[in-house]
Structure 1
Amino acid sequence: MLKVWIVGSEGQIGEAINEVLDPLEIEVLNTDKNALDITETDEVLHFGEINRPDVIINCAAITDVELCEKQPEEAFRVNALGARNLSLVARKTGAKMVQLSTDDVFDGLAQKPYTEFDNTNPKTVYGKSKCAGENYVKEFTHKHFIIRSNWVFGKGNNFVNRVLEAADQGRALAVAEDQYGSPTSAKDLARIILHLIRTNEYGTYHATCQGVCNRYEFAKEILRLAGKEEQLNPVPTSQSDLSSARPAYAVLDNFILRIIDVYEMPGWKDSLEEFMKEKREG
């Protein structure tokens, strides 16, 4: 049985992994910030040495872009040093390491989707701290999977749930039509993580659902699936309600997944439809 340590287990990706894994095949160690502070090196090493996981999945991060700008030291402490500490455990115990990352490691100025071979050039504190986390993982472990995704939605605070909340309150929404990405459900991200950890295909991956849309188109599809007809206004990011300072063009090309033919992500509309169906039934 594989022993998997999920760090940040109460976040949307951590929760999704717990939902889709097979408990008969995987023994789970769940920790979140209340149980274990990943910025405390000795505490992390002690936990790792006692429990000796086969795989460490780091879902823990400060992802609030505006909070990272206001508190850069805390952003780097969690997003960079936290990843370093977990990497030290992975190296010491021989565990595989999964580091969740983001499109924010790029500048968002490209005219075509970013591949894993494009140079990173983060513009936000969030992006810079996540890029630093990636670099620590590469430096301290060789058995690693760095997985970049974008526009992730699951349980908790995310774009889908904020759009639905505004619709329930009858609020008209101004939504960015100049931000592009590939909406990806936390469950589909969890599925590819669980697939990769059983392989030796180490390296950096882009893993987003297939297809591209802007935020306005994404919001329209959310409301359509929810059977709601609230007013949506397409606007530039500077005037939008739900979009903070993110890369304008956040499209990732799942290049490595395609060329090694290891896993195929579903289309974003299918992924969103599954999520909305579960919300209705939940």
Structure 2
Amino acid sequence: MIKIWITGANGQIGTAINEVLDPLEAEIFNTDKEELDITDTEEVLNFGEMNRPDVIINCAGIVDLNLCEKEPELAYRVNALGARNLSLVARKVGSKMVQLSTDDVFDGLSKTPYSEFDDTNPKTVYGRSKRAGENYVKEFTHKHFVVRSNWVYGRGNNFVNKVLEAAKNQTPLALASDQFGSPTSAKDLARLILHLIKTNEYGTYHATCQGMCSRYEFAQEILKAAGKEVEMKAVPTKESDLSYARPAYAVLDNFILRIIDLYQMPEWKESLQEYMNEREEG
């Protein structure tokens, strides 16, 4: 039975991996900051050596952009040094390592989707700290999968749930019509990760649902799928609600997945519909 250690297990992607995993196929070690501090090198090494996981999936991270700007040391400690510590364990016990990353490693100035071969140029502390984490993983482990995604939603605090909350309270929304990305379900990302770890196709991957839209169009589709309405207007990012100073153009091209014919992500509207159906059932 494969042993999988998931850090940041209570977050959107960690939760989704646990939902998608067959408990009969794997022994799972779930840790979040309450159980284990990934910034504490000794603690991480002790846990890793004691449990000897076959795979480490690092879903832990400081993702709040404003918090990263206010507390850069915290951002680098968790997003970069945390990844380094887990990489050291992976190398020591021979684990495969999955590092979750982000479109924020790019500057958002492109007019065409970013491939894995495009140069990174992060403009935020969050993006720079995540790139530093990627670099540590690449430096310390050879059996690694760096998985970049964007506009991820699942259980927890995210754009989809904020739009639905606004609709419930009939709070008018002003949403960015000049921010573009590919909404990606945490569950679809989890399915891809579980597929990847069964392979030896190591490297960096872009993994988003297919298609792209603006934040405004995304919100329209959320409301349509939920059968709800709220007053909305399309505005530039600086006048918008629920958006931060993220890359204006965050569209990733799943280039490697495509050229090695490894896995095909679903279309974003289909995934959103699946998520909405599950919300209603739950």
1:263 alignment partner in structure 2: 263
Instruction: Tell me the alpha carbon deviations over residues 29-59 of structure 1, each in whole angstroms, 9 at most, x when there is no partner.
Output: 0000000000000000000000000000000
Give 1:107's aligned amino acid.
D
1:135 alignment partner in structure 2: 135
Give 1:187's aligned amino acid.
K
Alignment of 1:242-281 (within 5 A): 242-281=242-281
Runs of 4+ that moved beyond 2 A: none
2:41 alignment partner in structure 1: 41
Identity value in percent: 76
C-alpha distance in 1, partners of 2:26/2:263? 20
C-alpha distance in 2, partners of 1:257/1:204? 10
1:54 alignment partner in structure 2: 54
1:81 alignment partner in structure 2: 81
TM-score by length of 1: 1.00
Give 2:244's aligned amino acid.
S
* Equivalences, count: 282
1:26 offset after TM fit, Å?
0.9
2:201 alignment partner in structure 1: 201
Instruction: Tell me the alpha carbon deviations over residues 60-91 of structure 1, each in whole angstroms, 9 at most, x when there is no partner.
Output: 00000111000000000000000000000000
C-alpha distance in 1, partners of 2:65/2:245? 7
C-alpha distance in 2, partners of 1:277/1:70? 37
2:102 alignment partner in structure 1: 102
C-alpha distance in 1, partners of 2:274/2:149? 18
Give 2:187's aligned amino acid.
K
Give 1:263's aligned amino acid.
Y
1:229 offset after TM fit, Å?
1.4
1:174 aligns to what SS in structure 2?
A: strand
2:246 aligns to what SS in structure 1?
A: coil
Give 2:102's aligned amino acid.
T
2:172 alignment partner in structure 1: 172
C-alpha distance in 1, partners of 2:2/2:49? 16
5+ long unaligned stretches in structure 2? none
1:239 offset after TM fit, Å?
0.3
5+ long unaligned stretches in structure 1? none
C-alpha distance in 2, partners of 1:249/1:14? 26
Give 2:5's aligned amino acid.
W
2:10 alignment partner in structure 1: 10
